[in-house]
Structure 1
Amino acid sequence: MQLTSLLALLPLAAAAPSEPISARGLTVPTDAVPSEVRVLGISLLGSGCPANTADVQIDATKTLLEVTFSEYIIQTGPDTKAADWRKNCKLTLNLEFDEGFSFSTLATDMSGFAQIPAGSKGLCTNTFDFTGIQGQSYYSIALPGEREGPFTLSADPDVVSWSPCGGTSAIMNMNTQCNISPTKEAALIAVDRISGKITVNVALAWRQC
């Protein structure tokens, strides 16, 4: 199938009302969480997130973070180039919360649309780390062919990294990368046709310092 046919499958409808983050399959303990969590600032860098194409929300329980990308599209096949085969977005998030807490990422799920033929494979990774702290949490999501349609896939980390104690804010760096191989076959990982977004839901775990 030609690339133009793949893209024709993606009429970007107006975003439908989204269900609460807490209803999307990620659950975390809520017995010790700060009373307030606030996003102080967001910065974006990467081929998958031009300015003003990503959004961050925290649900009412303060344990689920939703990051959405509206122009994150990976394409392979005829008439594509190297810049199309792999996309990434580094999102730096400054969170403010009650003193005496630290948090970590516990699990992620990723939702979007994919059309990948047999013999091809998509791969998306999400890594998280905290400014001033060594180590990172790493999540890997595979999209082997043959598949066509929306997907939601979950991943757990091999290593968990916690934000530093002793303050009321922390800077979390999230790096999302997706690619498809081999690159000669027409394939696509892109925003979902209904929501017009690729979504990464992140379960947050809190502990008292």
Structure 2
Amino acid sequence: MKAISLLALLPLAAAAPTEAIAPRGLTVPNGNVPEKVRVLGVSLLGSGCPSGTADVQIDATKTLLEVTFSEYIIQTGPGTKAADWRKNCKLTLNLEFDEGFSFSTLATDMSGFAQIPKGSRGLCTNTFDFTGIQGQSYYSIALAGEREGPFTLKANPDVVSWSPCGGTTAIMNMNTQCNISPTREAALIAVDRISGKITVNVSLDWRKC
């Protein structure tokens, strides 16, 4: 099999079906949401997010965090090298919110484009933890072959970690990692043609301290 050309494949994304679409702006079960939430700062580190290629936004309900990557591309097969087979991005988010609240991640969904042949498998993981708090929330999304086209897949955590109480800010660390195996076959996980991004939507759960 020849190496996959990203530019040749991306036009296919417009016609292919999207599966397992997760709802946007999920309702928080306990109904406790601070009036004000904002991102004070974001730092990036990793092969999947060169400077200026990631963005973080919070929606009007304060319950959905959207993280987008514009140069997050994983590719295997002839002509590729080890640095192409696996990508990651660690984001450190400094969030400010009303006093008396704590939050955790409730669910994630991830959207992008993938071409995975039969016998190959893509795997994306999202982990979250808070500076000063032990434990993390872990999400795993599998992209098994054979598949070709855009995807939106949802994941729920096995364990939930909450931000510390007693302040108006919290530092959340998010680590996104994707890989494809085996690496000898031509395969691809990349940005979606329509949006030009890989997107991770994170539903936030708030509670009063």
Q: Distance in 2 between matches of 1:195 and 1:2?
A: 27
Q: CA deviation at 1:88?
A: 0.1
Q: Is the 8 A contact 2:73 2:87 kept in 1?
A: yes
Alignment-derived partner of residue 127 in structure 2: 127
> Which aligned pairs between 1:172-187 and structure 2 lie closer than 5 A?
172-187=172-187
Number of equivalences: 200
Q: Distance in 1 between matches of 2:74 and 2:168?
A: 38
Secondary structure of 1:200's partner? Answer: strand
Q: CA deviation at 1:57?
A: 0.6
Code of the aligned partner of 1:95 = L
Code of the aligned partner of 1:3 = A
Q: Distance in 2 between matches of 1:54 and 1:87?
A: 14
Alignment-derived partner of residue 15 in structure 2: none
Q: Distance in 2 between matches of 1:39 and 1:3?
A: 40
Q: Is the 8 A contact 2:112 2:152 kept in 1?
A: yes
Indicate the percent of aligned positions where both proteins have the same amino acid.
Answer: 88
Q: Distance in 1 between matches of 2:202 and 2:155?
A: 10
Q: Distance in 1 between matches of 2:98 and 2:177?
A: 32
Q: Distance in 1 between matches of 2:30 and 2:189?
A: 34
Q: Deviations over 1:123-159 (max 9, x none)?
A: 0000000000000000000000000000000000000
Q: 1:64 to 1:6 in 2, by over 3 A?
A: same
Q: 1:144 to 1:132 in 2, by over 3 A?
A: same
Secondary structure of 1:83's partner? Answer: helix
Q: Deviations over 1:107-136 (max 9, x none)?
A: 000000000000000000000000000000
Q: Distance in 2 between matches of 1:27 and 1:60?
A: 12
Q: CA deviation at 1:26?
A: 4.1
Alignment-derived partner of residue 66 in structure 1: 66
Q: Distance in 1 between matches of 2:56 and 2:62?
A: 13
Alignment-derived partner of residue 43 in structure 2: 43
Q: CA deviation at 1:8?
A: 1.6
Q: CA deviation at 1:5?
A: 3.4
Q: CA deviation at 1:29?
A: 3.0
Q: CA deviation at 1:7?
A: 4.0
Alignment-derived partner of residue 136 in structure 1: 136
Secondary structure of 1:10's partner? Answer: helix
Q: 1:42 to 1:58 in 2, by over 3 A?
A: same
Give ranges in structure 2 of 5+ residues lacking alignment: 12-21
Code of the aligned partner of 2:139 = Y
